[in-house]
């Protein structure tokens, strides 16, 4: 008889569950993943989870899949990581393809055309709110003047000069790497 290690079962259950209940993308399910990983299954301590999350946030790319991969790897190595990520993303990915294929198939229908037209302004509003929230993060971290300067600079480079977004991000990352050092130096100079 083949026995499956309980870690695999727990990983699959936890990641499947957190993959189908969270709305608003990966960041919104992090508290749910924390609950399963720390409280329910005690794979790691709350502090360990916090530290892992901090490092995961320092890397680019989707956050929920990074955490799923790490937890799976920590418990059961590469196989655990693969299982964990698949359990987390496959249900919603498949639902997406089935639903969109159905919509495309029915796209000649007036009802579906009306539904699509009705939802477009909602999506625009949601994107607008997200734009505002990103600007708010910049404001909180950089302060009133610097955040205004950097937002205007990004606007100039992206929308007016039309520099490729990748290049703009690399430029901003480059300055970001020395940002806190410059601030610290300035404060030192000011206090002397």
Rank residues 1 and 94 by Cβ distance to another protein and give the closer one: 94
Rank residues 10 and 74 by Cβ distance to another protein and give the closer one: 74
CB of 112 to another protein, least distance (A): 7
CB of 1 to another protein, least distance (A): 32
CB of 118 to another protein, least distance (A): 2
Half-sphere exposure of 45 (CA within 13 A, CB side): 3
Rank residues 118 and 189 by Cβ distance to another protein and give the closer one: 118
CB of 2 to another protein, least distance (A): 26
CB of 42 to another protein, least distance (A): 19
Residue in the block written with tokens 């309980």: 6
Q: H-type helices in the chain, by residue range?
A: 6-21, 30-34, 46-58, 63-105, 110-142, 144-155, 165-191
Cα distances (Å, whole numbers) of residue 174 to 63, 92, 153:
22, 36, 15
Rank residues 2 and 177 by Cβ distance to another protein and give the closer one: 177
Rank residues 1 and 113 by Cβ distance to another protein and give the closer one: 113
Does residue 81 contact residue 90 with C-beta atoms inside 8 Å?
no
Does residue 117 contact residue 41 with C-beta atoms inside 8 Å?
no
For 87, counting Cβ atoms within 10 Å of its Cβ (0-12 exposed, 13-18 middle, 19+ buried), the class is buried
């Amino acid at each position: 008889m083949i026995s499956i290690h309980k870690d695999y079962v727990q990983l699959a259950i936890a990641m499947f569950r957190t993959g189908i209940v969270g709305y608003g993308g990966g960041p919104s399910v992090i508290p749910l993943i924390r609950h399963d990983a720390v409280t329910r299954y005690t794979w790691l301590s709350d502090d360990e989870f916090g530290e892992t999350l901090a490092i995961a946030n320092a890397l680019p790319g989707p956050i929920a899949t990074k955490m799923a991969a790490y937890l799976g790897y920590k418990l059961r190595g590469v196989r655990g990581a693969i299982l964990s990520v698949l359990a987390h993303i496959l249900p919603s990915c498949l639902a997406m393809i089935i639903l969109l294929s159905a919509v495309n198939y029915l796209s000649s229908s007036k009802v579906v055309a009306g539904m699509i037209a009705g939802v477009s302004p909602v999506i625009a509003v949601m994107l607008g709110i997200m734009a505002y929230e990103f600007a708010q993060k910049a404001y909180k971290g950089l302060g009133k003047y610097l955040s205004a300067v950097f937002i205007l600079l990004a606007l100039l480079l992206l929308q007016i000069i039309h520099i490729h977004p990748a290049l703009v991000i690399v430029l901003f990352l480059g300055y970001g790497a020395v940002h806190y050092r410059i601030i610290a130096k300035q404060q030192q100079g000011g206090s002397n």
